[in-house]
C-alpha cells in the first residue's frame, strides 16, 4: 500500500501553476546576409570561384598566418600568363545580388608582396557585367604600389561603390554579386578582412494625431485642435499623449452636436442645451367638454381649453358644495393614455382648490380614481401633474375637486398630454475601441438626473440589428459593452422625461461618452533605428481656420453682467474673485482658464477680497448688515473668520497654506496672536512683520514660529507694510505731513533705503512681485511697476481702465510674476498680458513605453515626469516649447543613446491650451527623423520560420489554459498549431479541427508560398488562450504534444522573435483504481470512502488545497457507494489517501 497523507494545516503544492517554457527546440532561425563580408579564414570558396584559372595554372590560392585579424589571411599568387600582363579573379562573391547603393564603403586589408605593382577592384553582377571602383588617388581605379599603397605592408583600402556607374540598373537598383580583383601578373598579394559599411538610411515618421484626441479636441483638416463649443473653444487645458488608449470619445454640448439627433417634445436652446418638455396638448382632439357648470356665457367648459388665459371656466357649485362635486374634463372619441395634465387655476386663492382627484371613464358615467388626490398650487401659475407609469387608457378624463374654495372654482386653462419630451442621439461608430475595458456616459444639465431616465442600445453588426433600449446610470459603465469585442459596434443613447417628473425646467447641457479599450502599442518601435531629429509644427488658428497670433488682452465679463467692482486675482493668474454688483455684491468666482463663473457665497455687500497664490482659499469682508470677515476654501465650505462690529480692518491676507491673517483693532491674528497696527506675512517661511508703537517710537517686529525679534525702528508714522515672497525684504510707506515716502528694508543687509518715488503722488503699495518689484497705486489711481534694481517706475494702467470710488479700493490686480494684469474697464473685467503672450504648448518625450517622460533643456536630458501621462504641473513647468524641441540636434540625441543605448520606442505628450475662446492651438504635424545602417534583404523581404515547444503531458489529468506570450523586436505575425498524435490540429468555433492526411505539414514545408493558407487554418495567441479547459483536457491530457508557431518578421533575423508558451495544468497524482480516502475529523472520528475513482480523489484533494487559501465552497459533496456525504472543511483534521500497489 502507498500512503499519501494530507494534514489540513499544511499546504500541499499541486501542479496548478503555469510552466514557463521558452522556444528551446527550434526548427531554425533565418537571417539576411550582409554583402561583402569575408574574414578570409577559409580558402574553399576562393578556390571554387576561380576553379578554372587555378586548374589552368594561372592562380594559386592558399592561407597564410600573416594576417591582420583572426587566424589567417588569403594569399594569391598570380602566375605568368602568355600574351598578357595581368590577370583578374574573384576575391569573393555574395550569396545573392545586392544593391551597391546600399553600401557606403567596402574595406579590406591588402599587402602587396613579391612582384606586386598595381591592383584594381571591380563589382560584377551575375551575368559577368562589371565596372571598376575608381576612388584611388587619381580616380582612375588603379591602386599603384608606392603611390597608393606600400609594398610588404598591410594597407587598409576603402572602396567607394558609388563610383561604379557601368553596371546595369534593374528596378532602380544597381545590382552586383562579386568583388573582382585585377593585378599585374607574376605577383603575390595577401588579402584579409573584407567588410562593408552600409549606407546610413534616413526615414521620416509622423505621429498619428488621431490617437491624441480627448473629449475637447478633434481632427479638422488633418490638424489636431480644440473642439468648438457654443461660445468658441473650451479653454480648459489638456495633456495629450500619443498612442494613448484605444478610445471612443464624444462630447455633445453644442447646437450643432445635438442637431444630429432626433427631438420629440423638446427644443435646443441657443446656448446648446436640450430642453425637454411635455408632449403636445391633445385637448383639441376632444369630442366634447365635461363639467358641472351650465352653459352660460361665463361657465362654459370650453373656456378651459381655448388657449385663452384671461377667460376662465367657472364651476356651477360654490364654496362647500365644490368638494367632490365640481369637475372639469374632456371626452375623446378614442381611448387616451395620459402622461401628464397641466392646469392653471384662477389667479386668486379664493377661486382655487388645493387638491383634486384625477378620474377616468369609458362610458361617461362610471368614474374611477387614478391614484390618490394631487396637491394644487393656488398662486395662479401653471402646474404640471404627472401620471407616473400610467398604463390605463380611457376615453374620458377629468379633474374632480377635492377641497372647497372660498367662492367658485375657476380654471383658466387645462392641457392633457399623452407623450413626454425625449431626445434620441445620432448613431455612433465605436468600432475602433476593439475590446472594451471600461466605459462611461455622463449626462449633465439642470434637474436632469432627477427628472430624466437615460437609455442606450447597441448594434454589433453595423446597424443591421439592434439590442433593446436598456437603462444606464449617468457616470456608470455602459451596460452591454463590458469586455465585448466592438470591432463592428454602434451605440445610440436616448433621454426621456421620467413619468414621475415633478419639475418644470429640465435641460441637458452635455452628454459625454467615453469608451476605453486596450492601450495602443507605442507610437513608434524603431528597432535598430536612431532618432536624429524631431519637428513639431504647431500654430494658433481662429474659428474660421485662419492662422493667427495669440491675443494678449481679454474681456472676461461684460457690462451686461457686471459693473466696476472690487476683485482679486490669484497669484498664479488663473482665478478672479469678484463682488457681483448685479447680485447684491455677492462673492463670485471666475475661472480664467475655463471661463466658467459661479457664485461662491450668499453673503451680500462684499467690499474687500483677497485670495492666495493658487486661489483655492479666498477671504472677503462684508460691511453690512454686520461687518464680518469670511473665508471660503474650495475643498471645504464657507466659514466665518471673525466678527467684531466695525473693528475688523481691511488689512487681511490669505497665505499659501490657506491661513487667513487679519487684524482687529491692534490685535493681529497671525500664526501667533500679536499686537500691532499694520502687518504682512511672507509666503515662504510664514514670517509675520508688524509695527508696534512703543511710546511714540515705531518698531518693526518679525514673528516666526512663536519667536519675535525687533527688526528696526522707523522714525515716521507707518501707513502700511509689505514683505516679499521669502521674507527678507520689507517695504513700507510713511506719512510726513501731506507727503508719502516708500522705503525698502533689507533684513540681510540690515539697512533701509528710500525708493525714488515722487512723494506728492502719495503712492500706496498694492503687492510685491516674486522678483521683489513693487506694484503701487498713486493718488490719481494710476498704477505702476517699480523696478527695485533700477529704481524705475513703469505705468501699467490701461486707457480703458475705470477709477475706483475711493482711494482705499483697488480696481486692479496682478499675478505674482508680474505678467498678467486684471483691471476694471468699460467692458467689465479685462485681463492683459503685460509682456505679450507666448505659446502655451509644451512637450515631453518618452522612450520606454510611457513610463518615464524626458525633457531637454540647457543641453541636458532630464526626467520630467512619470506615469502613462505626465502631470499638468510637470509638463507646464518642465516641458519643452516647440522651438526648444525642434532645436534638439542629432548630437543631442546621440548623447541620449550613449546613456540609454536600448531605446527603441517613442511617445509624445503635449500640453494643449489657449487663452482665448476664439483661438485654438493647432498641431499640424509631429514628425520624427531616424537613421540606421542599411538593412539588406533577400529578394523575399519578409523572413519566415517555424519554431516549436514540446510538452510531456502524460501525467496531466487536466489542462486549464495555454498562454502564449509573444516576444517581438518589431511588429510581426505569429500563428499557432498544436501537434498531437502525429497530427496538426487547431481549435475553431467550438471544436478541434484536425488536418487531413498531411495537408498542414505540407504547407509548413514552404511557409512563404502558403502563408495565407496557413493563417486561415491556424490560431492567433488570443484564440489559443480562449480554448476552454474541457476541450484542452479532452484533446491533450495524458499525452505528449507540441505547440508549433509560424512567424513572419521583416528584419535582419528571426533570432529575437519567439513565443513564451505557458501551460496551466493539474497533475494526475492517483493512477490506481484501488484507492481508499480516509478523513479524520476534529472530534477524532474517521470516515473511509472506498471505490472512488482517481478523478474523484483528485477533485477532493484539490478542494482541500484550495480551501487552505480560502478559495471555493466550505462543504464538499463526496460519493459513498450510491449515496453522497457532505464534508465540512472546518471539521477536517487530516486527510489520508491509501493506494494499493497490487
Written as one string, the DSSP assignment of 107-135 is EEEEEE-TT--EEEEEEE-TTS-EEE---
Distance CA 968, CA 361 (A): 76
Q: Which of 499, 546, 82 is closest to 278 using CA atoms?
A: 499
By CB atoms closer than 10 A (0-12, 13-18, 19+), residue 381 is: exposed
* CATH number 1.20.120 given to 1070-1139: no
Distance CA 680, CA 765 (A): 12
Q: 283-417: CATH homologous superfamily? A: Galactose-binding domain-like (2.60.120.260)
Q: Which of 513, 536, 372 is closest to 925 using CA atoms?
A: 536
pLDDT number for residue 249: 82
pLDDT number for residue 10: 26
pLDDT number for residue 244: 56
Q: How many CB atoms lie within 10 A of CB 210?
A: 11
**Rounded-to-10 torsion of CA 285, 287, 291, 297:** 90
Task: Find all residues with CB under 8 Å of 407, minimum gap 6, and list them.
Answer: 318, 319, 350, 351
* CATH number 1.20.1070 given to 250-277+422-519: no
Grid coordinates belonging to 52 = 578554372
- H or E element in which residue 783 lies: strand 783-787
Task: Find all residues with CB under 8 Å of 1138, minimum gap 6, and list them.
Answer: 1, 2, 3, 4, 1075, 1076, 1078
Task: Find all residues with CB under 8 Å of 828, minimum gap 6, and list them.
Answer: 555, 556, 557, 558, 559, 561, 562, 563
Grid coordinates belonging to 927 = 514628425
Distance CA 617, CA 637 (A): 10
Distance CA 778, CA 784 (A): 8
Judge if 250-277+422-519 and 1070-1139 fold alike in CATH terms: no
**Rounded-to-10 torsion of CA 288, 294, 299, 302:** 10
By CB atoms closer than 10 A (0-12, 13-18, 19+), residue 821 is: buried
Q: How big is the chain by its Cα radius of gyration, in Å?
A: 44
Taking the domain 44-199, which CATH number applies? 2.60.120.430
Q: Which of 1073, 1127, 1138 is closest to 1104 using CA atoms?
A: 1127
Asked whether 202 and 930 are in contact (CB, 8 A), the reply is yes
SS3 content of the chain, % helix, strand, coil (to 5): 10, 50, 40
By CB atoms closer than 10 A (0-12, 13-18, 19+), residue 738 is: exposed
pLDDT number for residue 435: 80
pLDDT along the chain (1142 residues), means of 10: 37 27 37 73 92 93 93 94 90 82 89 96 89 85 93 94 78 81 95 87 82 79 82 76 73 88 88 83 91 70 89 90 93 92 89 95 91 91 86 94 93 91 92 83 87 92 93 91 85 88 76 79 68 90 77 69 79 90 89 80 91 92 86 81 66 88 87 89 92 90 93 90 94 82 93 89 87 90 92 90 80 89 85 78 88 92 90 90 93 88 83 80 90 53 80 87 82 91 90 85 83 89 91 91 89 76 76 74 87 79 77 84 84 78 50
Q: Which of 381, 398, 299, 316 is closest to 343 using CA atoms?
A: 381
The beta strand positions in 623-716, using DSSP E, are 628-633, 638-643, 653-654, 660-664, 667-669, 673-675, 679-681, 688-694, 697-704, 707-714
Residue boundaries of the structural domains of the chain: 44-199, 250-277+422-519, 283-417, 667-754, 943-1067, 1070-1139
Asked whether 627 and 642 are in contact (CB, 8 A), the reply is no
Q: Counting every residue, how long is the chain?
A: 1142
Asked whether 886 and 534 are in contact (CB, 8 A), the reply is yes
From residue 854, alpha-carbon distances to 199, 209, 860, 863 in Å are 30, 20, 10, 5
pLDDT number for residue 1028: 92
Grid coordinates belonging to 794 = 513703469
Q: Which of 943, 958, 946 is closest to 1053 using CA atoms?
A: 943
Q: Which of 176, 189, 45, 30 is closest to 106 using CA atoms?
A: 176
pLDDT number for residue 145: 94
Asked whether 101 and 127 are in contact (CB, 8 A), the reply is no
Grid coordinates belonging to 223 = 490638424
Residue matched to cell numbers 583572426: 70
Paired residues of 714 in beta bridges: 698
| Alpha helices (H) along 222-370 | 255-258
pTM above 0.75, yes or no: no
Amino acid at each position: 500500500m502507498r500512503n499519501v497523507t494530507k494534514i489540513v494545516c499544511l499546504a500541499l503544492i499541486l501542479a496548478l501553476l503555469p510552466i514557463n517554457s521558452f522556444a528551446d527546440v527550434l526548427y531554425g532561425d533565418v537571417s539576411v546576409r550582409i554583402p561583402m563580408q569575408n574574414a578570409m579564414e577559409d580558402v574553399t570558396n576562393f578556390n571554387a570561384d576561380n576553379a578554372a584559372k587555378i586548374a589552368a595554372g594561372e592562380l594559386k590560392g592558399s592561407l597564410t598566418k600573416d594576417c591582420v585579424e583572426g587566424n589567417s589571411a588569403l594569399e594569391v599568387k598570380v602566375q605568368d600568363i602568355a600574351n598578357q600582363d595581368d590577370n583578374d579573379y574573384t576575391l569573393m562573391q555574395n550569396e545573392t545580388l545586392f544593391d551597391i547603393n546600399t553600401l557606403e564603403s567596402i574595406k579590406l586589408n591588402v599587402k602587396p608582396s613579391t612582384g606586386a605593382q598595381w591592383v584594381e577592384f571591380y563589382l560584377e553582377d551575375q551575368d559577368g557585367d562589371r565596372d571598376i571602383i575608381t576612388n584611388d588617388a587619381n580616380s582612375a581605379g588603379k591602386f599603384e604600389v608606392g603611390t597608393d599603397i606600400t609594398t610588404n605592408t598591410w594597407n587598409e583600402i576603402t572602396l567607394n561603390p558609388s563610383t561604379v556607374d557601368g553596371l546595369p540598373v534593374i528596378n532602380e537598383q544597381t545590382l552586383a554579386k562579386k568583388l573582382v580583383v585585377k593585378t599585374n601578373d607574376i605577383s603575390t598579394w595577401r588579402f584579409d578582412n573584407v567588410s562593408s559599411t552600409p549606407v546610413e538610411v534616413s526615414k521620416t515618421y509622423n505621429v498619428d494625431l488621431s490617437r491624441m484626441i480627448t473629449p475637447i479636441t478633434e481632427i479638422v483638416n488633418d490638424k489636431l485642435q480644440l473642439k468648438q463649443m457654443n461660445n468658441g473653444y473650451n479653454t480648459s487645458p489638456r495633456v495629450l499623449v500619443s498612442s494613448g488608449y484605444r478610445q471612443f470619445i464624444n462630447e455633445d454640448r453644442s447646437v450643432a452636436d445635438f442637431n444630429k439627433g432626433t427631438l420629440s417634445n423638446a427644443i435646443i436652446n441657443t446656448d446648446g442645451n436640450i430642453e425637454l418638455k411635455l408632449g403636445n396638448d391633445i385637448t383639441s382632439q376632444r369630442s366634447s367638454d365635461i363639467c358641472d357648470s351650465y352653459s352660460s356665457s361665463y361657465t362654459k367648459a370650453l373656456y378651459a381649453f381655448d388657449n385663452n388665459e384671461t377667460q376662465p371656466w367657472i364651476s356651477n357649485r360654490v364654496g362647500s358644495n365644490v368638494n367632490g362635486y365640481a369637475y372639469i374634463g374632456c371626452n375623446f372619441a378614442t381611448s387616451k393614455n395620459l402622461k401628464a395634465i397641466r392646469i392653471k387655476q384662477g389667479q386668486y386663492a379664493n377661486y382655487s382648490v388645493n387638491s383634486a382627484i384625477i378620474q377616468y371613464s369609458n362610458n361617461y358615467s362610471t368614474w374611477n380614481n387614478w391614484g390618490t388626490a394631487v396637491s394644487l398650487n393656488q398662486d395662479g401659475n401653471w402646474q404640471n401633474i404627472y401620471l407616473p407609469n400610467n398604463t390605463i387608457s380611457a376615453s374620458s378624463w377629468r379633474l374632480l375637486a377635492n377641497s372647497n374654495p372660498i367662492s367658485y372654482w375657476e380654471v383658466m386653462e387645462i392641457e392633457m398630454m399623452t407623450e413626454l419630451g425625449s431626445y434620441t442621439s445620432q448613431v455612433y461608430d465605436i468600432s475602433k475601441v476593439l475590446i472594451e475595458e471600461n466605459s462611461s456616459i455622463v449626462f449633465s444639465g439642470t434637474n436632469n438626473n432627477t427628472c430624466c431616465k437615460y437609455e442606450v442600445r447597441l448594434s454589433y453588426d453595423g446597424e443591421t440589428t439592434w439590442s433593446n433600449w436598456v437603462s444606464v446610470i449617468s457616470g456608470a459603465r455602459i451596460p452591454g459593452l463590458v469586455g465585448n469585442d466592438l470591432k463592428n459596434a454602434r451605440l445610440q443613447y436616448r433621454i426621456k422625461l421620467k413619468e414621475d417628473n415633478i419639475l418644470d425646467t429640465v435641460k441637458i447641457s452635455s452628454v459625454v461618452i467615453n469608451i476605453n479599450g486596450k492601450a495602443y502599442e507605442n507610437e513608434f518601435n524603431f528597432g535598430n533605428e536612431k532618432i536624429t531629429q524631431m519637428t513639431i509644427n504647431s500654430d494658433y488658428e481662429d474659428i474660421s481656420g485662419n492662422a493667427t497670433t495669440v491675443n494678449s488682452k481679454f474681456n472676461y465679463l461684460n457690462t451686461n453682467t457686471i459693473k466696476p467692482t472690487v476683485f482679486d486675482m490669484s497669484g498664479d493668474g488663473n482665478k478672479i474673485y469678484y463682488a457681483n454688483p448685479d447680485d447684491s455684491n455677492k462673492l463670485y468666482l471666475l475661472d480664467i482658464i475655463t471661463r466658467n463663473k459661479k457664485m461662491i457665497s450668499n453673503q451680500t455687500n462684499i467690499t474687500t477680497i483677497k485670495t492666495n497664490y493658487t486661489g483655492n482659499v479666498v477671504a472677503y469682508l462684508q460691511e453690512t448688515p454686520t461687518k464680518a470677515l469670511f473665508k471660503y476654501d474650495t475643498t471645504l465650505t464657507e466659514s466665518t473668520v471673525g466678527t467684531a462690529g466695525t473693528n475688523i480692518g481691511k488689512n487681511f491676507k490669505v497665505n499659501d497654506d490657506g491661513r487667513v491673517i487679519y487684524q482687529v483693532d491692534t490685535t493681529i491674528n497671525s500664526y501667533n496672536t500679536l499686537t500691532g497696527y499694520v502687518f504682512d506675512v511672507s509666503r515662504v517661511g510664514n514670517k509675520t512683520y508688524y509695527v508696534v508703537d512703543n511710546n511714540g517710537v515705531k518698531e518693526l517686529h518679525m514673528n516666526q514660529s512663536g519667536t519675535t525679534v525687533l527688526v528696526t525702528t522707523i522714525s515716521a508714522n507707518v501707513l502700511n507694510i509689505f514683505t516679499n515672497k521669502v521674507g527678507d525684504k520689507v517695504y513700507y510707506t510713511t506719512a510726513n505731513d501731506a507727503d508719502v515716502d516708500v522705503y525698502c528694508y533689507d533684513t540681510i543687509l540690515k539697512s533701509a533705503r528710500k525708493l525714488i518715488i515722487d512723494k506728492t503722488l502719495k503712492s500706496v503699495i498694492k503687492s510685491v512681485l516674486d522678483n521683489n518689484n513693487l506694484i503701487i497705486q498713486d493718488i490719481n489711481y494710476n498704477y505702476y511697476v517699480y523696478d527695485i534694481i533700477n529704481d524705475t517706475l513703469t505705468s501699467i494702467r490701461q486707457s480703458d481702465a475705470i477709477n475706483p470710488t475711493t482711494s482705499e479700493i483697488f480696481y486692479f490686480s496682478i499675478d505674482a510674476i508680474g505678467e498678467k494684469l486684471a483691471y476694471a474697464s468699460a467692458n467689465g473685467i479685462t485681463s492683459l498680458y503685460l509682456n505679450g503672450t507666448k505659446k502655451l504648448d509644451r512637450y515631453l518625450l518618452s522612450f520606454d513605453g510611457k513610463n518615464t517622460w524626458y525633457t531637454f533643456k540647457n543641453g541636458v536630458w532630464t526626467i520630467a515626469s512619470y506615469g502613462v501621462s505626465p502631470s499638468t504641473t510637470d509638463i507646464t513647468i518642465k516641458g519643452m516649447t516647440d522651438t526648444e524641441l525642434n532645436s534638439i540636434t542629432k548630437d543631442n540625441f546621440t548623447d541620449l543613446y550613449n546613456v540609454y543605448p536600448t531605446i527603441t520606442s517613442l511617445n509624445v505628450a503635449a500640453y494643449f491650451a489657449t487663452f482665448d475662446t476664439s483661438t485654438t492651438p493647432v498641431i499640424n504635424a509631429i514628425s520624427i527623423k531616424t537613421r540606421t545602417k542599411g538593412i539588406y534583404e533577400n529578394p523575399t523581404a519578409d523572413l519566415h520560420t517555424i519554431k516549436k515547444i514540446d510538452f510531456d503531458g502524460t501525467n496531466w489529468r487536466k489542462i486549464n489554459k495555454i498562454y502564449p506570450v509573444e516576444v517581438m523586436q518589431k511588429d510581426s505575425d505569429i500563428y499557432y498549431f498544436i501537434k498531437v498524435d502525429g497530427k496538426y490540429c487547431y481549435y475553431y468555433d467550438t471544436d478541434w479541427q484536425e488536418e487531413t492526411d498531411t495537408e498542414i505539414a505540407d504547407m509548413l514545408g514552404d511557409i512563404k508560398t502558403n502563408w495565407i493558407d496557413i493563417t486561415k487554418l491556424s490560431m492567433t495567441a488570443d484564440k489559443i488562450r480562449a480554448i476552454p479547459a474541457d476541450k484542452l483536457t479532452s484533446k491533450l491530457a495524458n499525452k505528449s504534444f507540441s505547440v508549433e508557431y509560424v512567424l513572419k518578421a521583416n528584419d535582419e533575423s528571426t533570432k529575437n522573435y519567439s513565443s513564451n508558451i505557458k501551460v496551466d495544468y493539474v497533475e494526475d497524482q492517483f493512477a490506481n483504481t484501488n484507492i481508499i480516502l480516509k478523513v479524520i475529523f476534529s472530534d477524532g472520528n474517521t470516515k473511509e470512502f472506498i471505490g472512488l475513482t482517481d478523478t474523484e480523489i483528485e477533485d477532493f484533494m484539490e478542494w482541500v488545497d484550495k480551501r487552505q487559501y480560502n478559495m471555493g465552497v466550505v462543504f464538499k459533496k463526496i460519493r459513498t457507494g450510491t449515496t453522497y456525504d457532505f464534508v465540512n472543511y472546518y471539521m477536517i483534521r487530516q486527510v489520508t489517501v491509501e493506494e494499493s500497489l497490487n
